[in-house]
Homo-oligomer: A and B are copies of this chain.
Amino acid sequence: MSIRVGVIGTGVMGADHVRNLHSTVSGATVSVVADLDQERAKSVASAVGARWVTDPLKLINDAGVDAVVIASHDSTHADLTLAAVEAGKPVLCEKPLAVTAEDCRRVAAAENPESPLMSVGFMRRFDPGYVALKAETHSGRIGDPLIVHCSSRTVSAYPGGSSESTVTNSAIHELDIVPWILNSPVVAASWHCGRSSSLVTDRQDPQIIMLRTADGVLTTVEVFLNARYGYDTRCEVVGEIGAARLAEPVVIHTDADRSHSYGYAADWIPRFAESYRRQLQEWIDALSTGRPSTLATAADGLRANLVAAAVIKSMHSAGATVSVEPVGESF
């Protein structure tokens, strides 16, 4: 009784989902793969014995597809998610759920709260480090949380981005994970910057974002997409009597050339491989048994986008603190 999954998009992320669903997730098979690039669709599909199409709507409405994963370009997320819901099929949409907060609200409004179909790929919620950090935060061992510090550094950004896309595409992970850790929504945000890296021309890099959650906790987020040295994700929660932070997930240490070292991942795929696997397994498990999953919901996706909108507004208002628009009644 495998869940037959259709995967839209065969870029780095989509291909990874196909491989995971086929090879490491229990209870799932990949039945159809869609990509505008016919050759890529064919190649990815054939490796796992799936069919392929170029039209994502065909995939969504295919009788052999029980559930849909959307990993195509961000600009397609909103409409494809709506199409999947209209077809009555569970859909896991890569973040962001939509590019703008307005679109995001439109998509989220289509969700049926009684019997939700949408999930958003905020995979960090399945990272063993973040999971343990959240547990430690509420264990009493470090006391009530007061401050959170995040650093999100990557080797280099895709060219052609902007200061805004740093927020909507990358910082969005922190905008989701911090309130998730704290169990408290972000209510206000501000954006700050100093000198930008001379190696970067398309955006301000690095940026500093400050978040205030409803519980009063203040969070600092450094986002540095062209940090060059490695893919390095950090998070520390400081509480009234202690503090806890992510450990870099390393498996060996090496002594060579006069130094003791461990390596960084080059990008998010190896760093969050386990998160992606666990997220997909939880999604499939929940679908198989008909129970609600613990994946991020449409409301979560909207919430992160509304915070991003506040951050960008602050960016264009000289760093002023901006209130986050509430998600609203329906959620």
Measured CB to CB, the residues of A under 8 A from B are 22-26, 28, 128-129, 131-133, 136, 141-144, 146-147, 149, 151, 153, 192-199, 206, 208, 210, 212, 215-218, 220, 222, 224, 227-230, 232, 238, 240-264, 266, 281, 285, 319, 321
Contact of A252 among B25, B146, B149, B245 (CB under 8 A): B245
Taking the closest CB of chain B, its distance from the CB of A279, in whole angstroms, is 13
Asked whether, in the complex, the Cβ of B228 is within 8 Å of the Cβ of A240, the reply is: yes
- The complex places the Cα of A131 from the Cα of B252 at a distance, in Å, of 10
Instruction: Name the contact of A254 in the complex, choosing from B192, B227, B242, B262 (C-beta under 8 A).
Output: B242
Q: Are A224 and B242 in contact (CB under 8 A)?
A: no
Beyond A22-B26, A194-B212, A216-B194, is A257–B242 a contact (Cβ under 8 Å)? yes
In angstroms, Cα B186 to Cα A163, docked, is: 25
- Say whether, besides A129-B251, A216-B195, A256 and B240 are in contact (CB < 8 Å): no
**A226 CA to B10 CA, complexed, in Å:** 51
- The reply to whether B251 and A132 form a contact with Cβ atoms under 8 Å apart is yes
Chain A to chain B contacts (Cβ below 8 Å), 15 pairs: A23-B281, A24-B26, A132-B251, A132-B252, A133-B251, A142-B256, A146-B196, A146-B206, A149-B222, A194-B218, A229-B243, A230-B260, A246-B252, A248-B260, A259-B264
Contacts of A210 in B (CB 8 A): 192, 208
Establish whether residues B252 and A249, one from each chain, have CB atoms under 8 Å apart when the complex forms. Answer: no
Copies in the complex: 4
Q: Are A128 and B251 in contact (CB under 8 A)?
A: yes
Give the chain B neighbours of A218 by CB distance below 8 A: 192-195, 208
**Nearest CB in chain B: distance from A256 CB, A:** 3
A117, B180: Cα distance in complex, Å: 48
Complex Cα distance, B241 from A240, in Å, reads 31
Min C-beta distance of A234 to chain B, whole Å:
10
Please indicate which of the listed interface residues A199, A215, A240 has the most CB atoms of chain B within 10 Å of its own CB. A240
- B144 near A198 with CB under 8 A, answer yes
Chain B residues near A255 (CB-CB < 8 A): 142, 229-230, 232, 242-244, 264
